Amino acid sequence: MDTDIRAKNQMSTSKTTVLILGADSPIGLTIVRDLGRNGYTVVALGRNKRAIGLYSKYCHHGFIREKSDADLLTQMEALSRQYDASFLLTVSESDIQWCNNYRSKISDFITPLMPTEALLSLVINKEKTQEYAESVGIRVPKTLQLVDFSELASYQDKLQFPLVLKWSNPHQVIKQLNEQRIVLEKFEYANNWQELTKILEKYKVISHFPLIQEYCAGKGFGQFFLVNQGEIELVSQHQRVHEWPPEGGSSTLCQALPLDKHQACMERSKVLLQKLNWQGVAMVEYRYDELTDQYSFMEINGRFWGSLPLAYYSGVSFAAGLVRTLGEKKCLEATPYELKQCRYMIPEVHRLVRILFQPNKIVDPNFKVSKIKEIVRFFTLFFQPNCRYYLFSLSDPKPFIMDTYFAIKKLFGAS
């Protein structure tokens, strides 16, 4: 087993120890910070020494995870017993699926706090979640699923462009795509019939095709929940102000929204999760068009989401809340909800570069911004008192320092 790469000079005020699988990303780092700040002892596993969560002052013991399934199970069991860990949290869908494959073995030495295979399979499948969303009165984009490429011709006069293409269940096709050396795209845009045909033709070799979905104007809008036995324990919501890529994707700048806004949408989101019998954390994601006040359902993330740092800085402790309610079976204490903004700086830089120097690569024809305003906003945000950062924190600076160090090493080709 790897040596603990955290200095063992910290003590926690809690008797409860939590093991985290996936301390590599800002999501994992936020979970570490959230739990540590709330008094839990944190034992974290990352894929390598670049795992930023391992350098947080709230990570009491950090390790490099073993590579093989058998070795990783052995490592997790040994750490759980050594540090008397009670609960297991994961970050990525792939790790949740891996843990579900070994849930019976894992449950012998620790309690996993993550969705079951049955629950996760529901939200991974976009067609299924769209059916559930539509059944509770949520608007769902018009969607077409090809079974065979030859079907496409029959829709030529019925489709309205632009269109968005996304996989119903990316995990079902990723192996076949890799075998054919085709990059798995989160989504693709088709602005005309020729572009649509070209995109779909490349998937003929695997005989599977992404969903063809109507374009929905607006920006990303997310509502976040912690659900326990059908009861909503925690909630927050945010608007994506900036995204990477610029035309739509992961948030690079997001803003918390008051809970008295979007209440009708919030109630439908709650009903949707309750109808799914959801247990744990989840994000219900929409595209929201302010001009028409229209919400278009996108998907459910049945895990901790990318903009989790915003919720953390806004005072909503989803990770600690998950452990306290589902794990320890205790009630949550009320905390102030603060309207913060949060930036993910490296993708923010990529976004600005794309807008200024590579506008031809922005595939959404409706994406229009002022370059001058984008430059001004990029720099003035550094002086906004309510703006926080995915990595940088004055009270916990080492993850940012180490991330910068590893980035510089990579830039200069050092291993």
- Residue 410 belongs to some domain of the structure: yes
pLDDT at 2: 63
Residues 290 and 406 placed together within one structural domain of the fold: yes
Last residue of a domain, one of 166, 196, 214: 214
Last residue of a domain, one of 167, 188, 214: 214
**CATH number of the domain that residue 389 is part of:** 3.30.470.20
Sign of the alpha-carbon dihedral angle for 54, 59, 64, 68: negative
- Residue 235 belongs to some domain of the structure: yes
Residues 267 and 301 placed together within one structural domain of the fold: yes
pLDDT at 11: 39
pLDDT at 64: 98
pLDDT at 5: 65
pLDDT at 375: 97
Residues 25 and 110 placed together within one structural domain of the fold: yes
- Residue 4 belongs to some domain of the structure: no
Count of structural domains, the chain: 3
Residues 340 and 279 placed together within one structural domain of the fold: yes
pLDDT at 413: 76
**Residues in the chain, pLDDT under 50:** 1, 7-13
- Residue 156: domain span: 142-214
Q: pLDDT tens across 192-221, in order?
A: 999 999 999 999 999 999 999 999 988 899
pLDDT at 12: 43
Last residue of a domain, one of 187, 214, 241: 214
- Residue 262 belongs to some domain of the structure: yes
- Residue 1 belongs to some domain of the structure: no
Residues 169 and 247 placed together within one structural domain of the fold: no
Residues 168 and 131 placed together within one structural domain of the fold: no
Residues 243 and 387 placed together within one structural domain of the fold: yes
**CATH number of the domain that residue 185 is part of:** 3.30.1490
